[in-house]
A and B are shown apart, each in its own frame.
Chain A
């Protein structure tokens, strides 16, 4: 097990006051909060910061941690000395849903869970808690429907009153027409009930995986569609990909770059399906041959086109 330097994690000195520790925690918690932060490792950092604060905010736990000594380095192999925490009393608060490191568990875990074992002596029935998870799907699944196999972790109270991590695999139907942020509710697939209580429900929040060429706004789907200059200028019929297969699209003559062409009802399907918008991107063929260069020069002669009239030059 590796030693964790809680002061280092909170970016505070060992002699910091409780107020300084609280301020440092608040700042880092905001910075790494997984719902707020865009840092890639936000969730892991947020947990570390939370664990460090769990110890350092509590004068008793902090004193116990301090007496391990200041000479430990983060990551160093660590085993708690026997009876290391004699004479300290730790409260059991704050352990509810959190998964702390082995390092933390070895120091504060046992005491933390002591309070839990007393529960459940009397007969007790209650509905289990609802659980929540996120499921990432491809846009194509929203068009065609599909299924996803998910592995969910949840903790259950073991026989000794300590939580054990359990893994569960579910195969879930992804209904056609589902949208980003929508929830699927699976009845009685949440946490087990107590006694004769029913299991809770499982809520799955749908999230679309990033797609290399479509982006989605509500039910509408957008696609940047590259076209050649002559297709935009003269009009053309071109093939357009959609998540449900290829379609023909008519490009009107004299279309400019950025023009949005709507394919009605070709967005995400539902009773009132969304639309698919092809946004024209004009791509220039490279002038990499004599024939191409000649064609560009003839084009120039024929059009006398000044693209900068708007700028007054």
Chain B
């Protein structure tokens, strides 16, 4: 393809090098602060820190917010419904992974 060598991009690893603030999570998911606060109140995501201004979010929160948005947009579920679906999906994923090991 291209003979020119691509520059190697180095990023920040969330949890190790960086964590997301409320504003950064909002940007990353195109969502308002009020909506994030609602997701925290409903137990969809757990920030580190006590006040919204000092909240820090990890990879799992980014993943769960985006999944919640997908489920809300595509399936019309409300926030508590999405929270339930996420918990069940995570459990399902673990069980499938375990099942796969036994089937090998």
Q: Could you list which residues of chain A lie within 8 angstroms of chain B, going by C-beta atoms?
A: 26, 29-30, 33, 35-36, 38, 46, 50, 127, 129-130, 132, 147, 149, 169-173, 175, 177-178, 181-187, 189, 200-205, 215, 270
Contact = CB atoms under 8 A, between A and B. Distances in A.
Contacts of B71: 33, 35-36
B63 A205 contact: yes
Given A178-B13, A181-B63, 19 more contacts: A26-B75, A26-B76, A33-B75, A35-B89, A36-B71, A50-B74, A127-B27, A132-B66, A170-B6, A171-B5, A171-B9, A172-B8, A172-B9, A173-B9, A173-B11, A183-B62, A184-B13, A186-B9, A203-B28
Contacts of B74: 29, 33, 46, 50
B67 interface: yes
Contact of A182 (B8, B59, B101): B59
User: 9 shortest A-B CB distances, which residue pairs?
Assistant: A171-B6, A186-B11, A184-B11, A183-B14, A183-B59, A173-B10, A130-B28, A185-B12, A182-B59
Interface of B: 2, 5-16, 18, 27-30, 59-60, 62-63, 66-67, 70-71, 74-76, 85, 89, 96-97, 101
Contacts of A171: 5-9
Is chain A's interface secondary structure helix, strand, loop, or mixed overall? mixed
Nearest to B70: A35
B28 A201 contact: yes
A175 B96 contact: no
B27 A184 contact: no
A181 B59 CA distance: 7
Given A38-B96, A200-B27, A185 B67 contact: no
Contacts of A50: 74
A173 B8 contact: yes
B85 to A, nearest CB: 7
A215 B97 contact: yes
Contacts of B85: 36
A172 to B, nearest CB: 5
Given A26-B75, A26-B76, A36 B12 contact: no
A46 B13 CA distance: 32
Contacts of A201: 27-28
B97 A185 contact: no
A172 B10 CA distance: 6
Q: Which of B13, B28, B62 has the most CB of A within 10 A?
A: B13
A35 B85 CA distance: 10
Nearest to B28: A130
B24 to A, nearest CB: 8
A177 B28 CA distance: 23
B35 to A, nearest CB: 16
B9 to A, nearest CB: 5
B73 to A, nearest CB: 10
A147 B14 contact: no
Contact of B101 (A46, A130, A215): A215
Contacts of B96: 38
A175 B9 contact: no
A189 B59 contact: no
